């Protein structure tokens, strides 16, 4: 990699001496040719330290992203460590404060309605245009599988600059030529004189050095840490029970809270009897909660168990909403919406309508697909702790969007954002759930009644599930034309679903005007690089009563199912091989071809299968990553067992193979759970599934062996956390078809089969 002119890259690095050591970070300045630069305010030049070095050579790397299990602490720390020449064993990782200087540009790139595989001019221009907007909003986000990508340059520069300053400090001290110095294990060494000094010894002097204006990063060939699997930095805590999650927070004088909220978000309580709840030993107080996310009561107690018992004992009733959410009705609404004109079309090639209208019926394949609402069902129920003291708010929680959370907390507390301090905890899964901030607002509401004492509010499993902000349902009409033994020459996909972005913006920024196309609605369909002459993907935005939210891989979680299963149907109708068809439709994408061939070799695609066995294939390009899957199942008397999964993935440049593999594997299992048994239903305005036994996920005995091969490719890295989920669902459904001859178009599969 060549030396990069930092100024042009919009980064300026700086250092300050802090109590007991040195901190290095970077300033975000105006991008060179940024059309929005006049709009930047002076205070948007922020100082954000990434590294602290103590005089005793204690090195701390600040990782401003939330660790949700995706290994982000390890990967981001590795970027700094690589350039700084320290090992991961030598350093400590801290979550760092909430600061808009830690904004995430990559996540905004994902929101741009352009096709991701198109690295061409137009898409590139759109992305650059969009990036500064992210900075203006100052959104610090851990989402869209973007953290590893986003930190790639910034965090390596932080390490490189700090290293250069430490070397310069040593040169000063020894009055020697820095060019011969080497750095290793947190030490600067001068081989000619044999002098050496630890970073800690040099840190004071280093803080006084000029910040180098031109710095080069190590070429890939010299990487010692990146590109290789590293031990995760948080695992000793996680296997000894000492990692502190939000539910585990204990502070002096802390109180504990539980909630009881009504069904839906708008119905008000009509009757409450607090006597039984107040009789529970340990219950201190019952307080009302009125939020855009729901209304009801908070129970404050001296212990978590007492709070739960109190909430359970609380006798309360809520008014029935005028038009309560009901799954059957909402399904009909989605179908009706498909008959109306589309709201936006993000893929339009050729003249699909004409071809389909003119084709003889025998050449037309058509089908309707549907998916239900889905919950995140994180193992750790949502929670947050808060303290409100003389106009100052502290919140302890894990958020995927802490800057948004902070601004919402500030508004609801009636204080300036500067007076809100967010402490980030570990979290037991999020998968998009913690992009919302409802749990923090509830904790804040309850903290208003604790006279300055901190309160940790944990939702019971049933409250957590009852107030899920679900992945929306979707219905799709699919049509294609295929002549026998040829490729399809027309494919049309019409998707009806609520807009997650719109729902999210409305509840997060009620005063903002929000309109426009939400590319997530057809992501996984409009952005797929299939070369089909006549190809149309249209979106029908359908408002439904329940709030909807981000969920691992968002729109791709259903659109990939629609498209990849339907293509399987098309191949079947045209009597052509499903893999062969994809190879031809993706012929212009060498990465896709390589990946498909790899998964074909791994799985022995095309081999003879005994009766009752089936193989299913699906592939997708999402979050900058190609993933192809072959699933093998056995069907016996209407019972299905998943035998084995083969997966080939091209995530671009691989930073930590083991983390990437584990993320993809996790995404696959997540997809299987959704495909097999998960469904959230609404009745009388309320979610019916309130616990894991009503919302099953894959268990140990159902989980197949998953073989993953990564294809290292020389292009910018894609995301790993979500990319496994979209293709896992259709690959399984296609395998079930291959084994049983039954085509399932409505998930979950448990409506039709039992899985063992």
Partner 1 sequence: MLMKLNGRWYDVGDDTTMPLLWVLRDKFGLMGTKYACDSATCGACTVTIDGKSELACQKTIAELTGEVQTIEGIGASEELHPVQQAWIDEQVPDCGYCQSGQIMAAVALLAETPSPSDAQINDAMRGNLCRCGTYPRIRAAIKRAAKLLRSGT
- Closest approach of Cβ 649 to ligand FES, in Å? 21
Tokens of 299: 């129970």
Answer yes or no: are the C-beta atoms of 46 and 100 closer than 8 Å.
yes
Indicate the burial class of 493 (C-beta count within 10 angstroms; 0-12, 13-18, 19 or more).
buried
| Long-range contacts of residues 191-198, Cβ cutoff 8 Å, at least 24 apart | 195/170, 197/170, 197/173, 198/57
Q: What is the dihedral of CA 316, 321, 322, 326, to 10 degrees?
A: -130
First-residue to last-residue Cα distance in the chain: 51
CA-CA distance, 91 to 298, in Å (whole number)?
A: 41
The entry of ligand FES, partner 1, none near residue 458 (CB within 5 to 8 angstroms by kind) is: partner 1
Q: Which of 244, 268, 379, 756 binds ligand FES (CB under 6 A)?
A: 379
- Closest approach of Cβ 402 to partner 1, in Å? 17
> Taking CB under 6 A as the rule, does residue 234 contact ligand FES?
no
The entry of partner 1, ligand FES, none near residue 303 (CB within 5 to 8 angstroms by kind) is: partner 1
> Taking CB under 6 A as the rule, does residue 724 contact ligand FES?
no
- Closest approach of Cβ 427 to ligand FES, in Å? 9
Answer yes or no: are the C-beta atoms of 463 and 316 closer than 8 Å.
no
Q: Which of 324, 350, 429, 657 binds ligand FES (CB under 6 A)?
A: 429
Site for partner 1 in 654-673 (CB under 8 A): 658, 662, 665-670, 673
Indicate the burial class of 510 (C-beta count within 10 angstroms; 0-12, 13-18, 19 or more).
exposed
Cα 11 to Cα 168, 209, 310, 642, distances in angstroms: 20, 18, 53, 49
Collapsed DSSP state (helix, strand, coil) of residue 336:
helix
693 DSSP 8-state letter? T
Q: In three state form, how does the secondary structure of 670-713 look?
A: HHHHHHHCCCECEECCEECCCCCCCCCCCCHHHCCEEEEEEEEC
Instruction: Return the number of the residue (117 or 245) whose C-beta is nearest partner 1.
Output: 245
Cα 241 to Cα 266, 501, 611, distances in angstroms: 39, 37, 47
> Taking CB under 8 A as the rule, does residue 231 contact partner 1?
yes
- Closest approach of Cβ 598 to partner 1, in Å? 20
Peptide bond before residue 748 is cis, with ω within 30 degrees of 0? yes
Tokens of 201: 């010894």
Instruction: Return the number of the residue (253 or 358) whose C-beta is nearest partner 1.
Output: 253
Collapsed DSSP state (helix, strand, coil) of residue 149:
helix
Instruction: Return the number of the residue (129 or 379) whose C-beta is nearest ligand FES.
Output: 379
- Percent of the chain that is helix, strand, coil (3-state, to 5): 35, 25, 40
Tokens of 686: 């309320």
Q: What is the dihedral of CA 605, 608, 613, 619, to 10 degrees?
A: 10
- Closest approach of Cβ 356 to ligand FES, in Å? 45
Interaction pattern, residues 694-733, with partner 1; x per rule: CB under 8 A: ---xxxxx-x-xx---------------------------
Q: Which of 692, 716, 742, 754 binds partner 1 (CB under 8 A)?
A: 692
CA-CA distance, 355 to 338, in Å (whole number)?
A: 20
Site for partner 1 in 527-586 (CB under 8 A): none
Instruction: Return the number of the residue (160 or 706) whose C-beta is nearest partner 1.
Output: 706
Site for partner 1 in 241-260 (CB under 8 A): 241-245, 247-248, 250
Tokens of 645: 């999964």
> Taking CB under 6 A as the rule, does residue 69 contact ligand FES?
yes
- Closest approach of Cβ 710 to partner 1, in Å? 16
> Taking CB under 6 A as the rule, does residue 402 contact ligand FES?
no
Q: Which of 221, 222, 240, 362 binds partner 1 (CB under 8 A)?
A: 240
Cβ density class 618-635: b for 16+ within 10 Å, e for less? bbbbbbbbbbbbbbbbbb
- Closest approach of Cβ 251 to partner 1, in Å? 12
Name the residue among 722, 616, 703 with its Cα closest to residue 664: 722
- Closest approach of Cβ 81 to ligand FES, in Å? 25
> Taking CB under 6 A as the rule, does residue 49 contact ligand FES?
no
Backbone angles phi, psi at 71, to 5 degrees: 80, 15
Instruction: Return the number of the residue (97 or 429) whose C-beta is nearest ligand FES.
Output: 429
Q: Could you tell me which stretch among 1-9, 10-18, 460-468, 681-689 binds partner 1 (CB under 8 A)?
A: 460-468
Tokens of 240: 């000894």
Q: Could you tell me which stretch among 143-151, 477-485, 676-684, 691-699 binds partner 1 (CB under 8 A)?
A: 691-699
CA-CA distance, 401 to 107, in Å (whole number)?
A: 11
Interaction pattern, residues 292-331, with partner 1; x per rule: CB under 8 A: -----------xxxx-------------------------
Instruction: Return the number of the residue (375 or 480) whose C-beta is nearest partner 1.
Output: 375
Answer yes or no: are the C-beta atoms of 707 and 644 closer than 8 Å.
yes
- Closest approach of Cβ 282 to partner 1, in Å? 9
Q: What is the DSSP string of 717-755?
A: ----TTTTHHHHHHHHHHHHHHHHS----BS-GGGT-EE
The entry of partner 1, ligand FES, none near residue 18 (CB within 5 to 8 angstroms by kind) is: none
Element (H, E) at 204: helix 199-207
Name the residue among 293, 326, 294, 330 with its Cα closest to residue 682: 326
- Closest approach of Cβ 484 to partner 1, in Å? 41
The entry of partner 1, ligand FES, none near residue 240 (CB within 5 to 8 angstroms by kind) is: partner 1
- Closest approach of Cβ 470 to partner 1, in Å? 15
Instruction: Return the number of the residue (105 or 399) whose C-beta is nearest partner 1.
Output: 399
Q: Could you tell me which stretch among 145-153, 214-222, 459-467, 598-606 binds partner 1 (CB under 8 A)?
A: 459-467
Only one residue has tokens 């949700």, namely 68
> Taking CB under 6 A as the rule, does residue 227 contact ligand FES?
no
- Closest approach of Cβ 428 to ligand FES, in Å? 6
> Taking CB under 8 A as the rule, does residue 428 contact partner 1?
yes
Binding site for ligand FES (CB under 6 A): 69, 379, 429
Binding site for partner 1 (CB under 8 A): 68-70, 229, 231-232, 234-245, 247-248, 250, 281, 303-306, 377-381, 426-429, 431, 458, 460-462, 658, 662, 665-670, 673, 690-693, 697-701, 703, 705-706
């Amino acid at each position: 990699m060549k030396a990069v002119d930092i100024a042009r890259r919009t980064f300026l690095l700086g250092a300050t001496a802090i109590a007991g050591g040195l901190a290095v970070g970077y300033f975000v300045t105006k991008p060179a040719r940024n059309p929005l630069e006049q709009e930047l305010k002076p205070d948007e030049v922020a100082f954000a330290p990434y590294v602290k070095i103590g005089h005793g050579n204690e090195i701390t790397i600040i990782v401003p992203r939330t660790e949700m299990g995706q290994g982000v602490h390890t990967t981001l720390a590795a970027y700094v460590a690589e350039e700084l020449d320290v090992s991961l064993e030598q350093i400590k990782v801290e979550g760092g404060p909430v600061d808009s200087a830690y904004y995430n540009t990559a996540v905004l790139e994902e929101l741009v309605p352009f096709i991701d595989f198109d690295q061409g001019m137009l898409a590139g221009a759109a992305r650059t245009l969009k990036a500064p907007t992210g900075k203006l909003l100052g959104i610090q986000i851990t989402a869209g599988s973007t953290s590893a990508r986003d930190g790639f340059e910034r965090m390596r520069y932080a390490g490189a600059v700090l290293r250069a300053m430490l070397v310069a400090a040593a040169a000063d001290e020894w009055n020697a030529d820095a060019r011969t110095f080497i750095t290793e294990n947190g030490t600067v060494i001068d081989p000619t004189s044999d002098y050496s000094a630890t970073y800690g010894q040099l840190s004071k002097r280093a803080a006084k050095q000029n910040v180098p204006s031109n710095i080069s990063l190590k070429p890939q060939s010299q990487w010692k840490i990146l590109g290789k699997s590293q031990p995760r930095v948080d695992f000793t805590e996680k296997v000894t029970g000492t990692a502190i999650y939000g539910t585990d927070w204990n502070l002096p004088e802390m109180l504990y809270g539980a909630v009881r909220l009504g069904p839906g978000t708008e119905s008000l309580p009509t009757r409450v009897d607090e006597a039984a709840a107040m009789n529970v030993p340990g219950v201190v107080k019952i307080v009302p909660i009125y939020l855009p996310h729901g209304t009801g009561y908070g129970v404050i107690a001296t212990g978590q168990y007492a709070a739960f018992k109190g909430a359970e004992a609380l006798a309360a009733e809520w008014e029935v909403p005028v038009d309560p959410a009901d799954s059957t009705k909402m399904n009909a609404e989605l179908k009706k919406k498909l008959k109306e004109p589309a709201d936006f079309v993000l893929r339009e090639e050729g003249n699909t309508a004409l071809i389909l209208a003119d084709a003889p019926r025998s050449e037309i394949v058509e089908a309707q697909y549907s998916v239900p609402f889905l919950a995140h069902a994180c193992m750790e129920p949502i929670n947050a702790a808060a303290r409100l003291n003389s106009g100052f708010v502290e919140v302890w929680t894990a958020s995927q969007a802490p800057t948004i959370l902070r601004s919402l907390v500030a508004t609801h507390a009636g204080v300036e954002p500067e007076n809100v301090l967010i402490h980030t905890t570990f979290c037991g899964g999020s998968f998009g759930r913690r992009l919302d901030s409802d749990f923090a607002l509830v904790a804040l509401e309850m903290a208003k009644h604790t006279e300055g004492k901190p309160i940790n509010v944990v939702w019971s499993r049933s409250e957590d599930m009852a107030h899920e902000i679900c992945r929306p349902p979707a219905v799709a009409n699919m049509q294609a034309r295929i002549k026998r033994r040829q490729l399809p020459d027309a494919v049309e996909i019409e998707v009806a679903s609520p807009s997650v972005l719109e729902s999210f913006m409305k509840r997060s920024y009620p005063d903002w005007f929000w309109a426009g196309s939400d590319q997530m609605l057809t992501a996984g369909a409009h952005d797929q690089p299939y070369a089909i002459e006549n190809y149309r993907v249209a979106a029908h935005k359908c408002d439904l009563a329940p709030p909807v939210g981000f969920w691992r891989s968002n729109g791709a979680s259903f659109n990939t199912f629609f498209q990849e299963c339907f293509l399987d149907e098309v191949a079947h109708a045209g009597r052509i091989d499903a893999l062969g068809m994809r190879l031809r439709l993706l012929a212009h994408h060498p990465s896709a071809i390589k990946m498909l061939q790899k998964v074909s070799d791994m799985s022995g695609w095309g081999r003879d299968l005994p009766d009752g066995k089936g193989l299913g294939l699906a592939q997708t390009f999402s979050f900058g990553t190609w993933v192809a899957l072959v699933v093998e199942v056995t069907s016996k008397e209407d019972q299905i067992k998943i035998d084995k999964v083969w997966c080939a993935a091209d995530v671009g440049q691989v930073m930590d193979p083991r983390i990437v593999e584990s993320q993809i594997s996790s995404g696959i299992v997540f997809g299987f759970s959704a495909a097999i048994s998960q469904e959230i239903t609404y009745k009388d305005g309320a979610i019916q599934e309130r616990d894991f036994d009503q919302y099953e996920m894959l268990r140990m005995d159902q989980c197949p062996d998953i073989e993953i091969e990564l294809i290292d490719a020389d292009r910018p890295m894609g995301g790993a956390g979500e990319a496994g989920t979209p293709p896992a669902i259709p690959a399984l459904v296609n395998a079930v078809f291959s084994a049983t001859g039954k085509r399932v178009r409505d998930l979950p599969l448990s409506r039709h089969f039992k899985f063992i």
